[in-house]
Chain A
Amino acid sequence: MVKNKSSWIKVHPALVRICHWLNAIAIVLMVMSGWQIYNASPIFPFSFPKSITLGGWLGGAIQWHFAAMWILVVNGLVYLVYNIVSGRLRGKFWPIRVRELLHDIGQALRGRLSHADPRHYNAVQKLAYVGVMLVLVGVVASGLAIWKPVQFQPLTNLLGGYDFARVVHFACMSLIVLFVVVHVVMVVLVPKTFITIITGRAKAPAPEAV
């Protein structure tokens, strides 16, 4: 196979790739330690198996949770500021049109959704990525609300009080886990995207005329 240098295109800037992997680490640590914390006083009639939790006991899990939160928040802010200031957020994820979304969902369900050009997200991807960004904002906000219900009282009240903010925090976690599962399944189905998020490069799409 002849590797033509010009057939590779730049897809993800380095900063986005670094943020992606730091975020992945933070999410795994936050979710696994969060499950252990949840187990200390479950709000629903189930607990998480100990084997998939982190920290060993409540105190250990809290140490992990409140260490990894710094990675999640600082890294998330760097990502958001970079994407907003550079215009990447608007360029990549906007607009999300309902008509395109319905069309792309239909295509996806038939297994025909195009990933030909990795530089452009389809409407389902746009919704999923913007959605998970908003849910991450929600998980941090509800986390702050239950961490500091006295100091951040307006926030806690906004989220329905201490007890309800716990439910919001749990719901955000569930949506994040759902996103991660779908995200990983998609990577397995389209493995080349996995290389792209590491190297930043992808093979150029075949020209239309061919």
Chain B
Amino acid sequence: MKSPFAKQVTAQADRHLVREVAKRLDAPARRVFLKHSLSLGSLALLTGCNAETPEAVDKMLTRISRFNDRVQWALFNPNALAPTYPDSMITKPFPFNAYYDQDQVREIDGSTWKLELAGLVADKRPWTLTDLAKLPQIAQTTRHICVEGWSAIGKWGGIPFKTFLEKVGADTTAKYVAFKCGDDYSTSIDMPTALHPQTIMTLTFADRTLPPDYGYPMKVRIPTKLGYKNPKHVMAITVTNTYPGGYWEDQGYNWYGGS
């Protein structure tokens, strides 16, 4: 995450390896091996082992990633619940994670914060924190899984997103729900996931007001998706049929990012 797009130069090492192996083979085998190493070389080109990944390869990988979005969309079972855990298993301290360091966390004033609504929503009136607190609340202890591989258990509480979307008259047949965040982050999810019973507009962490580190004043917690699909400091929600992308997704992370 810290040094994106660093490309590796290993072609020279590959050539050295091919020479070394060729030396140890008898004549007919060596010929076949060297002939074959030509295609090993083209493989190295494909893999981005060379200084530049050819654009065609990047395009192909992006297309496969889009295909994997559709596969995951098909695999998603709206009734399958993410495992829940006893509160005693909450990871302490719960790790901070963002695309910036912890000392750069945005301090957002909850008293002036307003949640904006846009797109295919009937009632676009913005919501204050006080209004949101009046809606029915649930809490769940689930595992947050980061795309990096680590995981941590936390307890998030707030309004079922489905309840909110229905309340504001969102078109729940639309394809996407997009989030704009107070830390210049953004992401978007598919509507079936937005309507999943465990997708929560979070106002609390571990039964206390959501701290700034974890996304004050409001975070959308989605235990069926990887961490980068769980936006913090949410400022605006858009319901749309146009693919919205997101901060990491635009750089190459898989869009669906489902667990």
A residues neighboring B (CB under 8 Å): 25, 28-29, 32, 37-38, 40-41, 43, 50-60, 62-64, 66-67, 70, 146-151, 153, 162-163, 166, 188, 191-192, 194-195, 198
**Could you list 23 A-B pairs, sorted by A, with CB under 8 Å?**
A29-B47, A32-B47, A37-B149, A41-B146, A51-B9, A55-B48, A56-B5, A57-B4, A58-B147, A58-B148, A59-B4, A59-B248, A60-B5, A62-B147, A62-B252, A63-B62, A63-B64, A66-B64, A67-B64, A150-B81, A150-B258, A150-B259, A198-B32
Does B29 reach chain A (CB closer than 8 Å)? Answer: yes
Dominant SS among interface residues on chain B = loop
The minimal Cβ–Cβ distance linking B33 to chain A, given in whole angstroms, is 6
Closest to A169 in B: B149
> Which of B9, B32, B64, B143 is in CB contact (< 8 Å) with A195?
B32
The minimal Cβ–Cβ distance linking A89 to chain B, given in whole angstroms, is 27
| Residues in chain B near residue A51, CB distance under 8 A | 8-10, 13
Contact assessment for A188 and B32 in the assembled complex, using a CB-CB cutoff below 8 Å: no
Top 5 A-B pairs, shortest CB-CB distance: A191-B29, A59-B252, A40-B148, A41-B148, A41-B149
For the complex, give the distance between the alpha carbons of A16 and B235 in Å. Answer: 56
Contact assessment for A57 and B25 in the assembled complex, using a CB-CB cutoff below 8 Å: no
Interface residues on B, range: 35 or more
The minimal Cβ–Cβ distance linking A118 to chain B, given in whole angstroms, is 14
The A/B interface has a contact count, at CB < 8 Å, of 124
Contact assessment for B3 and A162 in the assembled complex, using a CB-CB cutoff below 8 Å: no
Contact assessment for B24 and A188 in the assembled complex, using a CB-CB cutoff below 8 Å: yes
Closest to B30 in A: A191
Closest to A56 in B: B7
For the complex, give the distance between the alpha carbons of A149 and B151 in Å. Answer: 12
Does B241 reach chain A (CB closer than 8 Å)? Answer: no
| Residues in chain B near residue A56, CB distance under 8 A | 4-8, 48, 53
Does B77 reach chain A (CB closer than 8 Å)? Answer: yes
| Residues in chain B near residue A53, CB distance under 8 A | 8
Contact assessment for B33 and A194 in the assembled complex, using a CB-CB cutoff below 8 Å: yes
> Which of A43, A62, A148 is in CB contact (< 8 Å) with B259?
A148
Contact assessment for A192 and B82 in the assembled complex, using a CB-CB cutoff below 8 Å: no
The minimal Cβ–Cβ distance linking B134 to chain A, given in whole angstroms, is 31
